[in-house]
Structure 1
Amino acid sequence: MHSNRDRNEVAGAADVVATAIDILSRPVQGTHRAINDLVFGVLGRSAAPVRILNEGIADLVYEAVRGGGVAAAEAVTAVSRLLPEDRVSHAVTSTAAGSVVVGAVNGLLGDRLAAEGNDLTVELGPHHERRIVGNDTAMLTTAYPKATGHVAVLVHGLGETEQAWYYRHDGRGSYGEALAAHGISAVSLRYNTGAGIEDNGAALAGLLDELIAVWPVPVERIDLVGHSMGGLVVRRACAVEASRATWLPLVRTACYLGTPHEGAPLATGVYHLSRALRKVRQTVVWADLLDVRSRGVDDLRLATDVALAPGIRHVAVAATLAADDTAWWADAVGDGLVTLRSARGPMTELHTLVGTGHLALLSDPRVLDVLTELMSDATPAEVDDATEPAV
């Protein structure tokens, strides 16, 4: 059902809905059958004809629901191909809400969408006004009319898009807007968080190599900021580039906001729950549902095994919902998604924010203070002094 046009987000959305109907209907159908097993098992062989009729009708209904989803998607796709290209190319991501939904869908199914060629698959690159900016000097000049040689690259987390950096709280602007006042050009990337972290790291390394070659002015310095999964992608990108040394020598600092260096408890919990559900025949279908998760989600349960790139000042910003980070439960609860221990990882320089949740790290003024100080004050000599060997 994938369109041959350059981009058709209407068709892509229709495919996603049909896929969701298929995925969600199967565990419901399996549960229905498991209940039948229990009820008719008690009633015995005398109820076998009723059971056959019940299950036959139920199976037809579920197949009709799934078939209806596919037929509807095909109809929507056919109609969308008759519409002007500018009405379908960014029909979903042109709105703030649609862009957020696409980020979430890619987090859950991004690797699958990419394999199927779905037009809602997120494209890696700098995004401006919810559209990708190509690696072209003219386009970058238009998107960044006040570009400077000091570039801060912002890499969002799982299920997010570059819009995550623009969430407003109490009327405050984004980190990028604040950094611009210090002569720093903030480039907010969007990437497919459902793809593997290693793959995204390699893709980011390649993108930065291309970006500095076409940036409107010569790039003199790069600072990297990653939120949650984005920090792991940054670490991977630096590891990829360590042997090639292209853009890496320009990097002065790497700041990790709520990054699960030692794995994320929620991802680990989902993995173990899936394994447990597979041990009981009646709940295998729910394990199948949990296992639909993307490779990116699954990667979050594992500790990152790459060393910190040398010559860079690596700084972790961790958060805890507790009002006191020395409280006995502060580490375990962390920011609600990442523990303090995991957020610190191998970093020797750590800032801990209390009374703060995972998403609040995207707009907390204390985080901005850390970023501003790092990017404004860290000269190459200071970076060398502050850099510690990876542990």
Structure 2
Amino acid sequence: MTERDEAPPTAVEQRLMRGVERAAGVSDHLVHHPAPNGARAFVNAFFGDRLDVSGSPLAHTMGVRRRGRSVPLTEDGLAAAWPAATGDVVVLVHGLVVHETAWQRGRFGQRLEEDLGFTPVTVRYNTGLRISHNGHELDRVLTALVAHWPVPVTRIVLLGHSMGGLVVHSALAQADVEADWVPLVSDTVTLGAPHLGAPLERFANQSARLAGRLRHSRPLAAVLRARSVGIQDLRYGNILDEEWDGLDLDDRSGRRVDVPLHPGVRHLAIVGLLGKRINSRVARLIGDGMVPAASAQGSGPHSPGSRRFAEGDVVVLPGVGHLALVHDPLVYAAIRERLGHRPDPRSPDAEAGQEGPGR
């Protein structure tokens, strides 16, 4: 752990947290309301690591949510929440600055239930914490979910938007080789996930370094450096503890570990573009407005070959921005097309998956 991970909130941050707590409310009977939900998600994104250290009730914890409320990961709790549960489960993992209700507009979960018989399960988590920490937590949640699901689980699909896509792959990369849920995963689908990092975070890091050198801009540097470690993980798309543990937070080169896409699982990357062509300058620079096209599909001059999505596992959607990826009809059509075809258990990839997850 670095000093930044255990540093208590500053006086300014404490005042901000208290103000938001008063405005948003923190009791569980209110968190289903859009206003406190949105406020908490925003504060968690930027200060979630500090909230967690201070034990603030404003901090989100990784868990399953249904209609805004926590679902106990017990047989009774899950059965009450999903009385008509099926064996095919799709787990939806939201991105930075938002919460699980971000999926409501596009109704991806409900539509997969209606069209393909999946039971949708949404999770909420603290996006200000390390992505690798949230990967550990998602592993814990999925372990309990499979153990106590009302019917035997036959198939799991992991669907993640933006940071959520990295959390999904982090959970697979860190899961124990004997984890019951891993062999049940047939597919991962990532929507605009920064597999190779996000230029905006690299720009923020560089701006903080430069601002810190000048006396008059040091307050700005302090504000930029206060951003959470979860946001800072987006600089290079870190998904393992080894990629950040002991590393200077101002480091400009990063420490990348070659984490192969999990064997035995089909991996689909959906890439949004503000421009019309994936090889255009717009696509290279800003992609969907937040994540460049190359990062969203794990390809680039310095990307490890084992991390790149195969050409047939990439869907490029011109005219679809980063936030629209969770509700655009074209995105849902691509997801439905992939999941509507169950993987052949006799295929080489499926057989490789029986060996368990790799690190």
Instruction: Report the TM range for the smaller structure's normalisation.
Output: 0.7 to 0.9
Question: Which residue of structure 2 lines up, in the alignment, with residue 334 of structure 1?
Answer: 287
Name which of 320, 327, 335 aligns with 2:273. Answer: 320
Q: Is the CA contact 1:310–1:387 (under 8 Å) kept in the aligned structure 2?
A: no
Residue equivalent to 1:50:
none
Distance 1:385 1:213 in 2: 25
In the TM superposition, 1:308-387 aligns within 5 A as 308-345=261-298, 346-348=308-310, 349-381=313-345, 384=348
Secondary structure of 2:281 counterpart: coil
Q: How does 1:79-118 map to 2 (within 5 A)?
A: 89-90=27-28, 92-118=30-56
- State the Cα distance separating 1:374 from its structure 2 match: 2.2
How big is each residue's C-alpha offset from its partner over 1:238-291, in whole Å with a ceiling of 9 and x where there is no partner? 011153342110000111110000101111110000000011122112111111
Match of 1:244 in 2: 178
Provide the rounded CA distance (Å) in 2 between the counterparts of 1:242 and 1:130: 30
Worse-matched range after superposition: 286-295 or 88-97: 88-97
Query: Which residues of structure 2 form unaligned runs of 5+?
Result: 1-8, 239-256, 299-307
Distance 1:382 1:189, change over 3 A: farther
- What are the within-5 Å matches in structure 2 for residues 1-391 of structure 1? 22-23=12-13, 89-90=27-28, 92-167=30-105, 173-181=106-114, 182-241=116-175, 243-304=177-238, 305=257, 306-345=259-298, 346-348=308-310, 349-381=313-345, 384=348
> Residue 140 and residue 315 in structure 1: after superposition, are their counterparts in 2 closer, same or farther (change >3 A)?
same
Change (3 A) 1:148 1:279: same
Render the CA deviation track for 1:4-56: whole Å, top value 9, x for unaligned. Answer: xxxxxxxxxxxxxxx898249xxxxxxxxxxxxxxxxxxxxxxxxxxxxxxxx
Question: Do 1:242 and 1:309's aligned partners in 2 also have CA atoms closer than 8 Å?
Answer: no
Q: For the Cα contact (< 8 Å) 1:100–1:163, is it kept in 2?
A: no
Mapped to 2, the partners of 1:175 and 1:151 lie a distance apart of: 13
Distance 1:292 1:328, change over 3 A: closer
CA distance in 2, matches of 1:333, 1:135: 39
* Structure 2: distance between partners of 1:137 and 1:386: 30
Instruction: Give the greater-gyration-radius structure (CA).
Output: 1
1:385, distance to aligned residue in structure 2 (A): 5.0
Partner amino acid for 2:170? R
Alpha-carbon contact 1:23-1:289 (below 8 Å) kept: no
CA distance in 2, matches of 1:382, 1:364: 34
Shift of 1:377: 0.8
Shift of the 92–286 alpha-carbon distance from structure 1 to 2, 3 Å rule, reads: farther
Shift of 1:131: 1.2
2:158 counterpart letter in structure 1? L
| TM-fit CA distance, 1:373 | 2.3
State the alpha-carbon separation in 2 of the partners of residues 216 and 155 from structure 1: 21
Distance 1:191 1:123 in 2: 5
Q: Given the two structures, how large is their TM-score scaled by the length of structure 2?
A: 0.81
Query: Aligned in 2, Cα 1:372/1:242: closer, same or farther, shift over 3 Å?
Result: farther
Instruction: State the SS of the aligned residue for 1:341.
Output: helix
Most deviating of 132-141 and 242-251: 242-251
Distance 1:303 1:125, change over 3 A: closer
What amino acid does structure 1 have at the position aligned with 2:295? S
Amino acid at match of 1:347: F
1:303 Cα deviation after fit: 3.7
Give, in angstroms, the shift of residue 123 of structure 1: 2.1
Preserved CA contact (<8 Å) 2:91 2:156: yes
8 Å contact kept, 2:74–2:144: no
Query: Is 1:313–1:387's contact at 8 Å kept on the other side of the alignment?
Result: no
The Cα of 1:383 is off from its aligned counterpart by 6.1
Residue 163 (structure 1) shift: 0.4
Provide the alpha-carbon RMSD of the alignment: 2.7
CA contact (8 A) 2:143 2:179 kept: no
Quick one: which amino acid aligns to residue 256 of structure 1?
A: T
Contact 2:71 2:78 in 1 (8 A): yes
Alpha-carbon offset, residue 299 of structure 1: 0.4
Give, in whole Å, the separation in 2 of the partners of 1:119 and 1:139: 22
